[in-house]
Amino acid sequence: MNWQVYIILCTDDTLYTGITNDVARRFNQHVDKQGAKYFRGRQPKQLVYVEPGHDRSSASKREVVIKKLPRLEKLQLLGSDINKITDFQ
């Protein structure tokens, strides 16, 4: 199965990182408050980063790495060649 790591920009300008095998479905779950507890106090605004090409294990490991990055480095990821967001717009 093709897993992706994704980042969502929230209405409070925070960045949420997660993994899924269906980015559109997962984003809609977050919008409908059926996803992570993180979205109980904020709303997802926009999908800003998608990194495909993972299996479940590598996606989980990459998610941990990204979550540990400082905000500035996460923002740099958004403009990198790794970001395949155009595939999902």
**Predicted local distance difference test score (pLDDT) of residue 1:** 65
Taking the C-alpha atoms of residue 12 and residue 20, their distance in angstroms, rounded to an integer, is 23
Share of the chain above pLDDT 70, in %: 94
Q: Which domains does the chain have, with CATH numbers?
A: 3-87 (3.40.1440.10)
Q: What is the pLDDT averaged over residues 52-79?
A: 95
Q: What is the pLDDT averaged over residues 41-65?
A: 94
**Predicted local distance difference test score (pLDDT) of residue 33:** 86
**Predicted local distance difference test score (pLDDT) of residue 35:** 77
Measured CA angle at 31 (ends 29, 33), to 5 deg: 70
**Predicted local distance difference test score (pLDDT) of residue 86:** 64
Confidence of residue 89 (pLDDT cuts 50, 70, 90): very low
